[in-house]
Amino acid sequence: MSLLVFGSTGQLAAALRASAPDALFLNREAADLTDPDTCAAAIHAAQTSAVINAAAYTAVDRAEEEEALATAINAAAPGAMARACAEASIPFLHVSTDYVFDGSGQRPWRPEDPISPLNAYGRSKAAGEAAVRAAGGPHAILRTSWVFSATGRNFVTAMLELAQKRDQLNVVEDQIGGPTPACAIAEALLKMVEAMIAGQGGGTYHFAGVPFVSWAGFAREIFACSGQNVAVSDIPTSAYPTTAQRPLNSRLDCTSLEADFDIRPPDWRAKLAEIVKELA
């Protein structure tokens, strides 16, 4: 199997590189995500068996002022990639987000639930999903949430950095979701690729860690793993205003992914301990 991956240095791309070192990874110089035609051309030139899009605009707050740029990267580029894959009759796997939902209720979101993003980033990712589906080729859209790893900037690295400076933190407790290790997403995508090349599966799926937890609960687990004595005080979202509105309910129902690909949600606590040790 030959595999082409858009993305090179982000959390997910780094995890894919560790699990699939023989894949061809395209950085920004090789494929400009603001120029969809270059993305399509890269796919045609690669003559690959499958494509994974692990690149995205992820600056959630900045997207409120750069929605056109976020949409170009998160919607126009994946759409062009999906059309190129459809023309070549090869699977295209695209990573999306819990932010396409409005965060209402407490029930885990199912893939078929109506979407209603609250912010510009979510709208750009929703548009990307629609563009991938419209291409009409074999595809899978994998929505995930609260991604963390030892690479790049994420909630885990941010908490560990703050712990070096402070012994007390206020952390939001009314946003609930499933922290998801980037390495687990990479493993899931690679298993899906193999199945889809064989003609199995396709559509929209969810993949997130278990058990569900609040940001405050996640922070406590991070400090427990690192052995740092940091007191976490629970606060509501209203006490921590951000430029972009966040969904309160980011729980994702992953049963269809397990049914189609035999991929189960990962227990994020085990991987967190490994990552904290690596960062230490």
User: Residue 16 belongs to a domain with what CATH number?
Assistant: 3.40.50.720
Would you say the C-alpha torsion 222, 224, 230, 233 has a positive or negative sign? positive
Q: Rg (Cα) of the chain, in Å, rounded? A: 18
CA angle 67, 73, 78 (to 5 degrees): 130
Residue 78 has pLDDT above 90, yes or no: yes
Does residue 240 sit within a domain? Answer: no
Which pair of structure tokens corresponds to residue 218?
């996640």
* Cis peptide bond prior to 211, omega within 30° of 0: yes
Put residue 177 in one of left, alpha, beta given phi > 0 → left and psi -120 to 50 → alpha: beta
What pLDDT score does 9 carry? 86
CA distance 196 to 193: 5
The residue to which tokens 């750069």 are assigned? 66
How many domains in the chain?
A: 1
- The residue segments making up the domain with residue 190 are 3-147+179-209+250-266
Biggest CA-to-CA distance, the chain: 56
CB 248 within 8 A of CB 237: yes
Does residue 103 sit within a domain? Answer: yes
Residue 280 has pLDDT above 80, yes or no: no
Q: Classify strands 213-214 and 176-177 as parallel, antiparallel or unpaired.
A: antiparallel
Residues belonging to the active site:
121
Does residue 66 sit within a domain? Answer: yes
**In which band, very low, low, confident or very high, does the pLDDT at 152 lie, cut at 50, 70 and 90?**
confident
Mean pLDDT of 178-198: 97
What pLDDT score does 39 carry? 94
Does residue 73 sit within a domain? Answer: yes
CA distance 51 to 11: 17
State the DSSP string of 46-69.
HT-SEEEE------TTGGGT-HHH
Task: Count CB-CB contacts under 10 A for residue 124.
Answer: 27
SS3 (DSSP) at 137: coil
Cα 183 to the chain's mean position, in Å?
A: 11
The residue to which tokens 């699939």 are assigned? 20
- Helical residues (DSSP H) of 178-250, grouped into ranges: 182-197, 215-226
Residue 29 has pLDDT above 90, yes or no: no
SS3 (DSSP) at 116: coil
Task: Give pTM, 2 decimals.
Answer: 0.94
Residue 1 has pLDDT above 80, yes or no: no
Does residue 161 sit within a domain? Answer: no
What pLDDT score does 54 carry? 95
Mean pLDDT of 144-170: 93
CB 147 within 8 A of CB 12: yes
Does residue 241 sit within a domain? Answer: no
CA distance 43 to 87: 10
Does residue 217 sit within a domain? Answer: no
Does residue 67 sit within a domain? Answer: yes
